[in-house]
């Protein structure tokens, strides 16, 4: 699976999809997908046979076959291994470089992934050493590389013998200690000279689980009472009237009333967006990049389900998730598959009182939920993403009615995608002015407001509110 993610450029959400079901969706995988630009708690143990099956799928049919063997007990461990390895990848690779006498051949990179999984179990998880070694060595047969059993066994046992010296050596490597690629670390240092270390630390943690209670169905305190009655502890989020933070993340299948639309999983930072639109029932609203639909749903929840809401997304599979999300919450919207950079058709002839542009971005504010982003993104992607954001702003601005409000949102930490994007837009449009966001959360920037990821708090988001003259 790690081979799929790292060598084929797949998002971890997509790679885990064959093994997942709505009943077992984790708090992390419920987060925004990597293309809008998905880490988890794991516990328990896996037998050698099931653990081997998950480490080795190499095509869709094998994915499905392995997925069929998956049990509810195994999924948390599968997720922990995938997300944990991707969080700590440079440390694991630095250890492998010290442990192997010769680099692995290009055709044996699947063995490198297997070593990563084995080392992660020994280095980061409280699993018995003999079990981790045996499972890793046994997986070589699933890869049709039983010849590598001796290599895997010797490498992992050397790690156990020389652990302290190896870890001390790796501690001198900045990439291996920060767990960030150099290009992204350099950008964060420039952008946040006083905060980059906190940003990096928070991005390397497991994310908290936040809920948004549907006020059209139940009051927040009443829902928290339901959680308490089922043994789930939660705390109300300050300044998020419908937000709760669970003390311990759990599968959504354990949330009372989830299937009936009482509640959604949504980061506390993302819950800031909809209120900033200053919505009123009856307004015509365009949600331009709407999938998977959490912010879309929140708008209708705040407006008594009475907005004339058009929700767009370009990706057919994401349109399906958007449709399912709104149906579960019993909220209405005109949902369409469309490219918001090129408005055409009847919807493009309308003028909207509110536009939400939740723009595609580097997703650098939600890395703890998408650790694969650190290794799938490239430095050159930032300029391309900024260009897409510019084209979206230019395409959507003519659709905004006079005195209308456009809310620009990213889950990026990079100024090129945030305040610099808004500054450039304002220089190009005399009919636009910024409506500053006055709040006691986040950081005021030259334009807009930035939330930085916090270890026990929300993810990183940027918000800017524009008004048309």
Q: How many CB atoms lie within 10 A of CB 314?
A: 17
Section 26-55 average pLDDT = 32
Q: pLDDT of 178-200, one tens digit each?
A: 999 999 999 999 999 999 999 99
Omega before 292 within 30 of 0, i.e. cis: yes
| Count of all residues that appear for the chain in the document | 469
> For the whole model, what pTM was predicted?
0.87
Residue 372 region by backbone torsions, left for phi larger than 0, else alpha for psi between -120 and 50, else beta? alpha
Lowest mean pLDDT among 70-74, 87-91, 429-433: 70-74
Q: What is the pLDDT of residue 456?
A: 86
Lowest-confidence pick of 25-29, 141-145, 447-451: 25-29
Work out the average pLDDT over 373-388. Answer: 97
pLDDT at residue 264 tops 90: yes
Is the model's pLDDT at 97 over the cut of 80? Answer: yes
Q: Provide mean pLDDT across the span 46-71.
A: 40
Q: Give the confidence band of 5 by pLDDT, cuts at 50, 70, 90.
A: low
The residues pairing with 337 across neighbouring beta strands, listed in sequence order, are 313
Binned at pLDDT 50, 70 and 90, residue 18 comes out as low
- Answer whether residue 33 shows pLDDT above 70: no
Structure tokens belonging to residue 238: 């300050």
Q: In what order do the strands lie in the sheet with 263-265?
A: 234-236, 243-246, 209-213, 263-265
CA gap 350, 455 in Å, rounded: 43
Distances (CA, A) of 264 to 121, 298, 317, 390: 32, 9, 20, 31
Whether the per-residue pLDDT at 101 is higher than 60: the answer is yes
**What is the pLDDT at residue 341?**
97
Q: Report pLDDT digits (tens) over 275-285.
A: 999 999 999 99
- Among candidate residues 240, 289, 361, 411, the one labeled active-site is 411
* Residue 113 a catalytic site member: no
Whether the predicted pLDDT of 80 surpasses 80: yes
pLDDT tens-place string over residues 319-351: 999 999 999 999 999 999 999 999 999 999 999
- For 263, 323, 459, the CA distances from 318, given in Å and listed in that order, are 20, 9, 22
Share of the chain above pLDDT 70, in %: 85
Low-confidence winner among 15-24, 403-412, 431-440 (lowest mean pLDDT): 15-24
Cβ neighbours of residue 45 closer than 8 Å, sequence gap 6 or more? 77, 127, 131
Q: What local confidence, expressed as pLDDT, does residue 311 receive?
A: 98
The reported pLDDT for the residue numbered 127 is 87
């Amino acid at each position: 699976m790690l081979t799929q993610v790292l060598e084929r450029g797949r998002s971890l959400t997509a790679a885990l999809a064959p093994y997942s079901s709505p009943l077992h969706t984790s708090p992390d995988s419920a987060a925004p997908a990597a293309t809008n630009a998905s880490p988890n708690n794991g516990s328990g143990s896996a037998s050698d046979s099931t653990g081997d099956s998950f480490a080795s799928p190499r095509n869709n049919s094998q994915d499905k076959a392995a997925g069929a063997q998956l049990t509810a007990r195994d999924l948390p461990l599968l997720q922990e291994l995938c997300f944990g390895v991707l969080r700590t990848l440079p440390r694991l690779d630095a250890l492998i470089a010290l442990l192997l006498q010769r680099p692995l051949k290009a055709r044996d990179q699947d063995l490198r992934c297997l070593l990563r999984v084995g080392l992660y179990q020994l280095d980061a998880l409280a699993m018995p050493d003999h079990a981790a070694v045996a499972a890793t060595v046994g997986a070589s047969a699933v890869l049709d590389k039983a010849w590598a059993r001796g290599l895997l066994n010797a490498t992992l046992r050397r790690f156990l013998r020389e652990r302290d010296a190896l870890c001390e050596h790796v501690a001198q490597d900045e990439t291996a200690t920060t767990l960030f690629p150099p290009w992204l670390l350099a950008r964060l240092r420039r952008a946040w000279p006083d905060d980059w270390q906190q940003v990096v630390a928070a991005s390397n943690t497991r994310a908290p689980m936040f809920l948004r209670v549907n006020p059209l169905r139940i009051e927040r305190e009443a829902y928290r009472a339901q959680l308490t009655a089922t043994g789930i502890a939660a705390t109300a989020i300050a300044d998020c009237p419908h937000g709760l933070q669970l003390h311990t993340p759990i599968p959504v299948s354990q949330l009372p009333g989830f299937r009936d639309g009482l509640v959604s999983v949504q980061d506390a930072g993302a819950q800031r967006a909809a209120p900033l639109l200053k919505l009123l029932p009856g307004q015509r609203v365009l949600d331009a990049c709407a999938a998977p639909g959490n912010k879309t749903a929140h708008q209708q929840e705040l407006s008594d389900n009475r907005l004339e809401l058009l929700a767009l997304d370009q990706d057919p599979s994401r349109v399906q998730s958007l449709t399912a999300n709104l149906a579960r919450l019993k909220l209405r919207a005109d949902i369409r598959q469309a490219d918001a950079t090129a408005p055409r058709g009847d919807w493009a002839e309308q003028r909207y009182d509110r536009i939400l542009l939740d723009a595609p971005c580097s997703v650098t504010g939600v890395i703890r939920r998408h650790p694969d982003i650190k290794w799938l993104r490239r430095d050159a992607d930032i300029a391309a993403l900024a260009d897409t954001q510019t084209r979206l702003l230019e395409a959507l601005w003519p659709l905004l009615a006079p005195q209308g409000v456009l809310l620009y949102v990213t889950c990026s930490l990079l100024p090129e995608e945030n305040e610099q994007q808004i500054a450039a837009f304002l220089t190009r449009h005399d009919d636009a002015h910024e409506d500053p966001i006055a709040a006691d959360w986040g950081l005021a920037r030259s334009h807009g407001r930035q939330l930085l990821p916090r270890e026990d708090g929300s993810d990183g988001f940027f918000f800017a509110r524009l008004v048309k003259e």
